[in-house]
């Protein structure tokens, strides 16, 4: 059984392969697009542009999670996020809200948002699991080990794929005990969150194990640091606006692994990459 919102996403998407979630960060300081969409109108226009490019979901966030980032107040997060969610939802866009606060998630759902995307998987706010259960909305359970200001000190694993899977399963248990239903849950290995570049590559290589947990999987690699530095000498990173192609290459990898959704800033490049995987007959379950 799937959730009605995920069925709606599939209907909007109208094509095989992972659905594309376009990112709108309404923040002054997100690492990849901070400061560009802080005004409500600019954020809404950008969200609609991402939909025109092929995004089936627009993810609206008001808190930067870049390594080292400090948190905005709850009031400030609400001020940033709610008007954008409301305006996009009014235009029939499937909106997810990228928040770790139950209050912000609740306000966003009331404003027409459809999906809660919590990078802490419900760990940051003890009220989140109850809200997930009460709302019935799809909930992205991302793997997370602590807030951004010091998360990289927690990037320690013996077997990153196995440990991330086990920690996500533990979050799923908590959410189910709180009354959420399995159809609501989407898993995300949390690329870049308490992970080194090597951990990120190991998780990408092991994506099938995440998919095998039996829930839809969301993957967020877009423009992240390990894609800036891949193949480059130290100090010669790709600039943020030159990471669409490397991001699209990871979207192709995700498509082959059977991921449900990829969260990206550059929608066109990722749609193109998924089209190639589809044409090759390399989507799981479609081999000829």
Closest distance of CB 46 from ligand PMM, Å: 13
Q: Which is nearer to ligand PMM, 256 or 263 (CB)?
A: 263
172 lies in the site for ligand PMM, by CB under 6 A = no
Angle, CA of 38, 42 and 48, to the nearest 5°: 125
**Which residues between 225 and 264 bind ligand PMM (CB under 6 A)?**
263
**Which residues between 82 and 101 bind ligand PMM (CB under 6 A)?**
98
263 in catalytic set: yes
Catalytic, out of 171, 224, 253, 256: 224
The rounded distance, in Å, linking the Cα atoms of 87 and 82 is: 9
Query: Closest residue (Cβ) to ligand PMM?
Result: 220
Q: Which is nearer to ligand PMM, 266 or 287 (CB)?
A: 266
Q: H-helix or E-strand containing 249?
A: helix 244-257
Q: Which is nearer to ligand PMM, 219 or 273 (CB)?
A: 219
Largest CA distance in the chain: 53
The tally of CA atoms less than 13 A away on the side-chain side of residue 50 is 30
199 lies in the site for ligand PMM, by CB under 6 A = no
Q: Which is nearer to ligand PMM, 191 or 210 (CB)?
A: 191
77 lies in the site for ligand PMM, by CB under 6 A = no
Angle, CA of 165, 170 and 171, to the nearest 5°: 100
The rounded distance, in Å, linking the Cα atoms of 138 and 149 is: 28
Number of residues that bind ligand PMM (CB under 6 A): 21
224 in catalytic set: yes
Interface pick for ligand PMM out of 85, 116, 119, 277 (rule CB under 6 A):
119
The rounded distance, in Å, linking the Cα atoms of 178 and 134 is: 9
Interface pick for ligand PMM out of 99, 117, 247, 251 (rule CB under 6 A):
117
CB 119 within 8 A of CB 192: no
Q: Give the other-Cβ count within 10 Å of 4's Cβ.
A: 11
Backbone φ and ψ of 12, nearest 5°: -65, -40
Contacts of 65 (CB under 8 A, 6+ apart): 30, 119, 148, 193
Expressed in angstroms, the distance from the first to the final Cα of the chain is: 26
Candidates 30-38, 79-87, 155-163, 167-175; binding stretch for ligand PMM (CB under 6 A):
30-38
50 lies in the site for ligand PMM, by CB under 6 A = no
Kindly list the residues in this chain that would bind ligand PMM in the complex (CB under 6 A).
23, 25, 30-32, 64-66, 98, 117, 119, 140, 142, 188, 190-191, 218, 220, 222-223, 263
Indicate which residues carry an active-site annotation: 224, 263
């Amino acid at each position: 059984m799937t959730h009605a919102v995920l069925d709606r996403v599939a209907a909007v998407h109208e094509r095989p392969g992972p659905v594309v979630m376009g990112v709108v960060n309404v923040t002054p300081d997100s690492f990849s697009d901070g400061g560009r969409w802080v005004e409500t109108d600019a954020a809404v226009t950008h969200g609609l542009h991402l939909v025109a490019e092929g995004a089936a979901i627009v993810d609206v966030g008001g808190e930067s999670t870049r390594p080292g980032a400090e948190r905005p107040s709850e009031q400030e997060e609400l001020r940033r996020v709610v008007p954008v969610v409301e305006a996009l939802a009014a235009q029939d866009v499937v909106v997810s809200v990228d928040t770790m606060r139950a209050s912000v998630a609740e306000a966003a759902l009331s404003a027409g948002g459809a999906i809660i995307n919590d990078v802490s998987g419900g760990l940051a706010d003890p009220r989140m699991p109850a809200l997930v259960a009460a709302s019935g909305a799809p909930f992205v359970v991302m793997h997370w080990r602590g807030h951004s200001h010091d998360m990289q000190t927690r990037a320690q694993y013996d077997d990153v794929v196995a440990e991330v899977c086990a920690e996500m399963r533990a979050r799923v248990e908590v959410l189910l005990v709180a009354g959420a239903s399995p159809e609501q849950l989407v898993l995300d290995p949390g690329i870049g969150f308490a992970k080194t570049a090597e951990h990120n590559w190991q998780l990408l290589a092991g994506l099938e194990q995440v998919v095998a947990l039996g829930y839809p999987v969301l993957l967020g690699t877009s423009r992240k640091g390990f894609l800036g530095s891949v193949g480059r000498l130290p100090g010669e990173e790709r600039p943020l606006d030159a990471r669409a192609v490397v991001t699209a290459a990871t979207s192709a990898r995700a498509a082959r692994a059977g991921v449900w959704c990829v969260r990206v800033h550059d929608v066109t490049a990722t749609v193109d990459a998924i089209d190639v995987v589809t044409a090759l007959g390399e989507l799981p379950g479609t081999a000829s």
